[in-house]
Each structure stands twice: as C-alpha cells, then as structure tokens.
Structure 1
Amino acid sequence: MQSAYEESWLQFYHPIVRQLGFAIASPNILCALPSDLLLTHTFQLHSDEIWQQHFEDYLPRLRELDVNPTPLLEFVAQLKSTRLGLRFEMLIWFWLQDNAYHPYQLLGHSIQIIEGAKTLGELDFLIYHRDFKRIEHWEIALKYYLAEADYRFEHWYGLNRSDRLARKMLHFTEKQFQFQQALQHDIEARFCMLKGQLYLPQNMQHALPAWVNPARRIGHWGHQQPDQSLGYYRLQRHEWICANSQPSSETAQWWTDGLYKQQFHQHYYMFRQAPYLMRVNA
C-alpha cells in the first residue's frame, strides 16, 4: 500500500466541513467493478480525477463554510437519524444543491418508484448533467468493509456480517439500477458512489484485488489491542466519516468495539472483540 494519500479535506477545521470535504473529494473505495460481479443492470464508478476536480471547484465554498458553517449545520440538523449513511447522503445533497460549483442540476432526491400499491424501489438522486446534456441516476453509500481469508470479493464483511460487499454490489446491479425512467425522464447513465474505508486483517498479508482503489487510505482490523504507546484513541461515530482536527477522546486505556486512530498519524484500526470461542481457546 502506498504511504502518501491526497486527503485535501483535512485542511478544514470545523468537523462538519471536514466531513463535507471528505464526501466530495474522497475516492471511491473501489476503482473498478469486480470481475466476479455478474451485472444485471450496468453502472459506472466516477473516477478519482472527477472527485478531485469537484473538490477544487467547491473549495471557495468550503472555505466560507469553515468560517461560518451555519448553513451546513442547519441543513444536516434536519436529519433525525444517527445513521452514518444518511448523514453522508445529506452532505452530498447539500453539495448538489450548490449548483453554481458543479455541472449538475438536481432533479430529485429519494424518488420512490411505485407500481399500483407496490413500491418497486427508490432512487437516491436523479441528476441532469448540464455539460453532457444527459439524465443520470446516482446511488450513494458509505461503507466500512473488513477483509477476511484471502481478500477475494466474497470475503469482505461489514460490521454487521450480513452486510457484505458482494451482497451490496449485487443489490446495486439487480435492484437499485433496474429503472429506465424516473420523474418522466429517461435515465441515460447510472453511477454508484461507494465511499468509506476498507480494512485489512492485522498480521495477514495477501495481494490486494485489482478493484481495491489504491488512492484511498486502507486501515487495519483485528482482535488484539495495539501497543498503548502508539497513542490510539477512539473516534466518535460521526468521525468515521472524517476525524476531527483534534483528538475527541483520551488515548485508549481500555478497548471496546469501534474505530481507533493514532493521535499524530493517519493510521486507523478497527478493533473487534474476539469471538467467545477464540477467547476460551486462547
């Protein structure tokens, strides 16, 4: 893995602006669709260069918000849920409405497709791309997947083991991108925005799959507590999107499940309690 990453969102001070900067500038966790994914309905991933350009175009607005984040705070405060994925969606929604800074016109958000009494599905965003003069359907997700076994496509798990990367990608191609029309518009392009972070098992080395994006920082996970002298502290839930500029808790003296970061380095460690049988047999 490379040691230097472009993480331009870390220049901001206010936590919510850092999170918005991450939502825009961070690369997708995948740089390509895995060859093991059987496509029912095709879709694309935006390139890293596109996200970096969007960030550069939005930089003046981000700097304004870092001085006065009130409009962003008030917008996100409409969300009553604590779910990170919904918070991430609100951040993207805020950015898309600032259409002086990008080539998109937002046509709709959370659009339900209904047939008779049955809801067939819901589109995250319907967008008109002014430069390309086309209608785009975007699905977005913020995900944290932990690699197991030999890092193959089917061996990446979320914090809830029913949430697997393979299952999520299959849901995209079979369900979420099935629609040809929305709001009386023909859909001409489909994009998946899949951001977050991947984690490799501690002390287990395999070759990374070609579809893992090398431009996105990768963390580690394990059942062992790192050396306390390394200065790990536990991140608050919203900091999983982007850590605050200053530590939000004391250096960890005892460990619970969650995401930890080294105080003076961008090193991330997902600690998981060892299964009971593993503890008994240790």
Structure 2
Amino acid sequence: MSEPIDQSKPNRLIDNAPWERYRRPYVRDLAYVLACPNVLTQWLDFAPHENTHAVSVHSASFWQAQFEAYEQRLTELDTTTDYQALTRYLLKRPSPNRLGFHFEGLLSFWLEDGFARKLHPYETLASNVQLYNGKQTTGELDLILYNHAKQLVEHWELAIKFFMGSLPFEPVNWVGINSNDNLQRKMTYMQTKQFRAVWVNTENHGQVKIDKRYGVIKGRFFLPINTNDCGDYDWPYWLTPSFPIHEWCDKRDTKGLATIDATVLRAAHYIEWFTKRDFYDERNVYDNQQMAWSDNELPKTGLYFEGNRPIVIYPRQSDQIDR
C-alpha cells in the first residue's frame, strides 16, 4: 500500500514519487497518469453568462484510490510479458508520439483493463466521439463512460498540460511553451465547446444521455526558479496541493541560470514530460553532450534534467519563443 500524498502544502519538488518505483517506461507513465491528481480542486466557471452544464473534477483522494487499486496490476505489467499488451495497445493508437494522445491512450488502457479485472466501475461506452453541425465536424468528445457504481453516464474530457506559472498565479498566468495556450483558455474551451453535448450516439450502446461531466486535467506545473524571492503571495485555492510542481527559469535570467549545474544538465526527450527515461542519461554521457551556455549563446527553450530535477528553460512572454 502506498503512502497517501500530503495535501497540506504545495509539492514544490516531488521526491520518491510513486511512479518512480516502476522500471519499464510505459508502466511508469501509466502509474504517473493514475497517481497524479487533477490540477484542480474545483472547476472554475469562466463562461458564467453562457448556457453551459455543470462540470465536476475528481478529488486527489479519488485518484490515489484508483492508483492503489491498480498497484498490483502495475507490478504485473512491470515484471511480466503482460507489458507487451500495454505497448501494443499504445502504439496501435493514432499519433502515439503526441503527448495528448499518449495521455489518452494510457487512461483508456487503464479504463478497459481495470474494468475487465473489476478494479473500478467504469465501462467505456465510446471514445473520440465526433460532433457534427450538419455534415461539418465541429469537435469530438474524449470518453463516454458508464459508472456502474452510481448508474450514471459520464463524459470525461481529458487534458495533459505542462504549464509555466507567473505571479499572481491566476489560471491565465499558467502558460505552455506555446504562450497562446493557458489554463483559463483550455478550461473555457472545454466548458463552452466539448461539455455542451447532452445526447451521444455510440456504436455499440445506441444513443445515451450524459448525466455528469468531468474535466480531467493532469500534467506538471513549473514555478519561477526565483519564486522564494517574490515575497508573500497567495497560493491558488483551486490548485491541488499535491499536484506535481517543479521550476522554470527565464532563458535570459543569468542569476537563475547560475543556480543550475550545467555540467550534469541534459535536454529531455519529448516523452519525458511524463516521466524521466534514465537510459537517456547514459546516452548523454556516452555522447559527451553536456549542456552549457554563455552570454552569447542562450539555452534553447524546453525541458531539462539536472540529475533527477526537472527544469524548464523558458522565455518571458515578451520574448520570441523558439519553435
């Protein structure tokens, strides 16, 4: 049985995270997707004047319970040939190398595998349901589930986000590598577009009516590396204290960069936004690809690891973002 995550304070740097105990990369990713709580303690309504439906979020204790119920199965996947079933499932899905699709694939595997093993009550009725206006496609719904415990049809809309925060840490101040992407914009889109559906046509279960809607937003957030120098600030009431929180550094902040040990730093591969792949450390040493920068050569925007410490190098919003 794993220890419950401390809910009393922000988790600035996660050590001994439960997903780190697994050896195989996709199992580690799957454990992370389950053990990571929703970023939100409650849904924030950014469209109060529109006729939208109520949206709920699962608590951190809900996800902790799902992880604990699935721990034995995670161990089986990590130590037996059952791992092949997980890899085949993920790699046969569309665009498996995109982080959003990888997140959706991992959750979908858990839903199907866990339901078949009676480890949770959620039966998948449909996924990636296309929405139409006449003959024109206007969007899609991620997951339509039947909750056998509560006898409800639930719509889960998924998002995996890796956002850099800045004072005053409101939802609009958490932005992605693409600065047009922020938490407030994503939530508004989910509520006003994807969560408007009431009736859904499914291939095997006919037409079903949605009873409840859940926004499932996970990932990692990054605070400015000098946050402790900012004085007192109010921690967002809506941000789950146990959500993975790390650090980012402005690429022009020479003081902040000086606190990073460039001799052990390496650039992360795209998939490592989920969990770190240790074999890339060995390859980095073998290729002698140590990271360094100077006043004349700024570091590239992206995710890095200083040992096991994740750090994002990121430009201020006024700067040109590296593509």
Structure 2 length as normaliser, TM-score? Answer: 0.78
How far 1:61 moved relative to its partner?
1.4
Q: CA deviation at 1:117?
A: 1.1
Which of 186, 202, 210 pairs up with 2:225? 202
Q: Distance in 2 between matches of 1:227 and 1:167?
A: 32
Greater Cα offset, 113-122 or 94-103? 113-122
Q: 1:80 to 1:138 in 2, by over 3 A?
A: closer
> What RMSD, in angstroms, separates the aligned Cα atoms of the two structures?
2.4
TM-score, structure 1 normalization:
0.89
Q: Is the 8 A contact 1:37 1:166 kept in 2?
A: no
For the residues of structure 1 that align with 2:122 and 2:162, how far apart are their CA atoms? 28
Mapped pair 1:188 → 2:198: no
Matched, 1:123 2:141: yes
Provide closer, same or farther for how the CA distance between residues 115 and 125 of structure 1 changes in structure 2, counting only shifts above 3 A: same
Aligned mates of 1:185, 1:169 — CA distance in 2: 24
| Equivalent residue letter for 2:159 | A
State the alpha-carbon separation in 2 of the partners of residues 175 and 140 from structure 1.
13
Greater CA deviation, 161-170 or 110-119?
110-119
Q: Among residues 159, 166, 177, which one is paired with 1:148 in the alignment?
A: 166
Match for 1:29: what amino acid? V
1:30 equivalent among 19, 40, 43: 40
Tell me the secondary structure at the aligned position of residue 180 of structure 2: coil
Residues 1:242 and 2:269 are matched in the alignment: no
Larger radius of gyration: 2
Query: Deviation of residue 2 (structure 1)?
Result: 4.1
- Partner secondary structure for residue 219 of structure 2: strand
Corresponding pairs, count: 276
Which amino acid in 2 is paired with 1:73? Answer: T
Q: CA deviation at 1:276?
A: 9.1
Deviations 1:29-67 (A, max 9, x none): 222224666373221111111111111111121111112
Aligned to 2:7: none
| Equivalent pair of 2:11/2:243 in contact (CA under 8 Å) | no
Query: Sequence identity, in percent?
Result: 30
SS at match of 1:44: coil
2:244 to 211, 217, 242: 217
Evaluate the alpha carbon distance shift between residue 128 and residue 257 of structure 1 in structure 2; reply closer, same or farther with a 3 A threshold.
same
State yes or no: 1:89 paired with 2:104: yes
CA spacing shift, 1:170–1:92, aligned 2, 3 Å: same
Please list every run of 5 or more consecutive structure 2 residues that lacks an aligned counterpart in the other structure. Answer: 1-9, 202-206, 293-298
Asked whether the equivalents of residues 234 and 252 of structure 1 are also in contact (C-alpha less than 8 Å), the reply is no
Quote the residue 2:28 is aligned against: 18
Q: Secondary structure at the match of 1:45?
A: coil
- The alpha carbon displacement at 1:156 in A equals 1.7
- What is the CA-CA distance between 1:25 and the residue it aligns to? 1.5
Which residue does the alignment assign to 2:53?
41
Indicate how the Cα distance of structure 1 residues 228 and 247 shifts in structure 2: closer, same or farther if over 3 A, else same: same
